[in-house]
Structures are given as structure tokens and as C-alpha cells.
């Protein structure tokens, strides 16, 4: 890659991969309602790397930038994307909403944490953020530790400590 953060467009078959890419902070669009020509048009127009398992789409519609995803398993798919595109690890995980792809803003203030977080997680260390797009709230709980561990198993030594 050229040093700029990659931007992806994932086809409908790659929803779980799209979520993992978002965990890594990479702008990844996913709209299952788009037909193939519109998906390719938008990926080209927005200068995104189109990720697909659909060989017919690649052969017939010829997106400008694309990667054929071959594995069925989302973490294997992620490893293949990272290695094929020689992607650098992100400085921080969990900076983008895994549901709607919006960048997550600065962490919640202590007063916002008190109001927005469930009582049992208010005192957890680390930032908590609310998505400006869909309102979902993120914090570094056990799910974040499990996801980081899955990433470490998938890409050993790739993430910063």
C-alpha cells in the first residue's frame, strides 16, 4: 500500500470480514442491497478496494481495485487481506463503529460514562465512545480482549502491544 489508510467496499457475502476490518479502524462499506454493477461503480467512484468472493463480478465488471477473497472463515479472510495488500497494523483498535462504519469520536467524559454506560462497566479502564451514526456505545470490556486475542492468533506479532 502507499501509506494511506486503506478503504474497502465489501460485498454482501463478506459482512463478518467487514466488521473485522472496522475493528482495525479501516473504512469499510457494506450495503447488501446494492446490485453488483452499483457496488463496483461506488467502489470505483470512492477509490475503494472491492473485496468479493464473486469471481463472475471480478471477471465481468472489472473493478479498478479489487481482491478476490477465497476463504470461508472471516479471520482467515482478514489475514489474507492484510498479507495480500501488505497492510500496516493500526495504531489503535476499535476506532470505527463495527455496525455503521462511522469513525468513533473522542472518549466519553466521566459524566457521559455515568449516564450512558451500564453500571457494571462504568469503572472499567480505557476509553468508551458513542457512535455518532447509530448511537451504539463501545467500551473495552471482555469482548474487546477476546477480539484482540483472536487477532493475535490470526496475525501473530502483527499488532502493536
Domain residue ranges of the chain, discontinuous segments joined by +? 7-84
Give the per-residue pLDDT at 152.
97
Residue 20 has a CB neighbour count (10 Å cut-off) of 23
- How many Å apart are CA 157 and CA 161, to the nearest integer? 9
Domain 7-84, architecture per CATH? 3-Layer(aba) Sandwich (3.40)
Strands 49-52 and 66-68: parallel
Q: What is the CA radius of gyration of the chain?
A: 17
Digitized pLDDT (tens) for each residue of the chain, 161 residues in all: 556 889 999 999 999 999 999 999 999 999 999 999 999 999 999 999 999 999 999 999 999 999 999 999 999 999 999 999 999 999 999 999 999 999 999 999 999 999 999 999 999 999 999 999 999 999 999 999 999 999 999 999 999 87
- How many Å apart are CA 161 and CA 155, to the nearest integer? 13
Q: Which residues pair with 103 in a beta bridge?
A: 96
Single out the residue of 102, 84, 80, 104 nearest to residue 94, CA to CA.
104
Residue 65 CB contacts under 8 Å (≥ 6 apart), including other chains: 43, 47, 48, 49, 50
Give the per-residue pLDDT at 1.
54
Residue 14 CB contacts under 8 Å (≥ 6 apart), including other chains: 30, 51, 52, 53, 69, 77
Amino acid at each position: 500500500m502507499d501509506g494511506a489508510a486503506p478503504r474497502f467496499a465489501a460485498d454482501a457475502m463478506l459482512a463478518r470480514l467487514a466488521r473485522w476490518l472496522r475493528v482495525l479502524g479501516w473504512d469499510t462499506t457494506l450495503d447488501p442491497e446494492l446490485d453488483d454493477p452499483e457496488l463496483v461503480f461506488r467502489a470505483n467512484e470512492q477509490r475503494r478496494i472491492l473485496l468479493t468472493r464473486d469471481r463472475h463480478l471480478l471477471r465481468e465488471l472489472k473493478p479498478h481495485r479489487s481482491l478476490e477473497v477465497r476463504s470461508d472463515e472471516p479471520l482467515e479472510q482478514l489475514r489474507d487481506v492484510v498479507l495480500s495488500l501488505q497492510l500496516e497494523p493500526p495504531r489503535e483498535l476499535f476506532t470505527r463503529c463495527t455496525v455503521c462504519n462511522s469513525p468513533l469520536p473522542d472518549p466519553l467524559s466521566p459524566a457521559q460514562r455515568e449516564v450512558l454506560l451500564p453500571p457494571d462497566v462504568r469503572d472499567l479502564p480505557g476509553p468508551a465512545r458513542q457512535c455518532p451514526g447509530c448511537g451504539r456505545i463501545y467500551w473495552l470490556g471482555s469482548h474487546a480482549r477476546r477480539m484482540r486475542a483472536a487477532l493475535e492468533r490470526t496475525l501473530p506479532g502483527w499488532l502493536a502491544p
